[in-house]
Each structure stands twice: as C-alpha cells, then as structure tokens.
C-alpha cells in the first residue's frame, strides 16, 4: 500500500469540499485530465464519476466509484483506468483544531484492487504511486490556497 500524508493549514470543511468534488480533481490530482460526468447523488456510496486520466493522447476514459464515505472525514474510491489501473484510494481527514488556525492532516492510501496482481507489482509501483500522491496532496494545498485568495481579494 502506498501511504502519503500532508498537513494542510486550512479548515477540514474546506479540504473536504475539494476532495469530495471531482470537478476539482484536474486542478490538483496528478494524472486527472477531465471529468466527463458526475452522478447526481455524489458522493453517496455506489455513485460514480466518469473521467479521463493520463497525459494527452495517452489518456484513458473510465470511471471511479465511491466504496465508502463518512463526511467530512473519509472518502474511499474504487479508481479505474482500465486495462492498467484498478485500485482503492482512501482519503482521511483529521482536523487539528488545537492550533486555532484550522489545520487539517490529510492522508491518502492507495492499494491495488486485485491483491494477487497488486502483490506482484507493489515493490515496483508503490514508490512511484507514493511520489504521485505526495505531489497531488501538495497541489491540493496550493489549490486550496488559491481558492482562499480568490475569496479574500477585494
């Protein structure tokens, strides 16, 4: 399993708003190219969004489905970009209100959906998935700051 964590100096409700809104994914999630459609009841369990992932002409159309959700603390997604990727990605948010600034710890766990195949490729894939997820959470933080700056501007 690839596990990544980041402390984002923003309130957990704002972080949750970005993680639970697939239309923001192309802005911060590395590899997300385009969101083509989102189910009306998103992010209810069993709902999905349709997307393109990859880079340019190497992008693949597929969908991602909510496996489990506990707003505003956890969102678990069955991610697909077949025939190459089938994984479960789980975001968890931990508010750190003791600092008074609205800081949130965000974790992202990603595990292959097919365990037997996943166990074979894990030693090779986990380090690159970790790097990608680390970059994604860093970009999420930047995206949140950009959104906050838009709200604060006169």
Question: Which tens digits make up the pLDDT trace of 93-123?
Answer: 999 876 556 899 999 998 877 654 545 555 6
Cβ–Cβ < 8 Å for 103, 13: no
With 0.75 as the threshold, say if the pTM is over it: yes
Residues 117-131: tens digit of each pLDDT: 545 555 666 777 888
The residue extents of the domains of the chain are: 2-152
Superfamily of domain 2-152: START domain (3.30.530.20)
């Amino acid at each position: 399993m690839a596990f990544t964590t980041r402390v984002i100096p923003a309130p957990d409700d704002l972080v949750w708003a970005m993680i639970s809104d697939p239309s923001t994914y192309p802005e911060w999630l590395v590899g997300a190219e385009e969101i083509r459609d989102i189910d009306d009841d998103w992010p209810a369990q069993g709902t999905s969004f349709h997307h393109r992932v990859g880079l340019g002409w190497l992008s693949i159309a597929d969908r991602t489905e909510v496996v489990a959700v506990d707003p505003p603390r956890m969102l678990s997604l069955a991610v697909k970009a077949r025939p190459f990727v089938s994984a479960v990605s789980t975001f968890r948010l931990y508010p750190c209100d003791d600092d008074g600034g609205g800081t949130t710890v965000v974790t992202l766990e990603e595990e292959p959906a097919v365990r037997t195949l996943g166990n074979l490729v894990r030693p090779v894939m986990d380090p690159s998935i970790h790097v990608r997820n680390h970059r994604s959470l860093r970009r999420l933080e930047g995206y949140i700051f950009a959104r906050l700056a838009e709200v604060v501007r006169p």
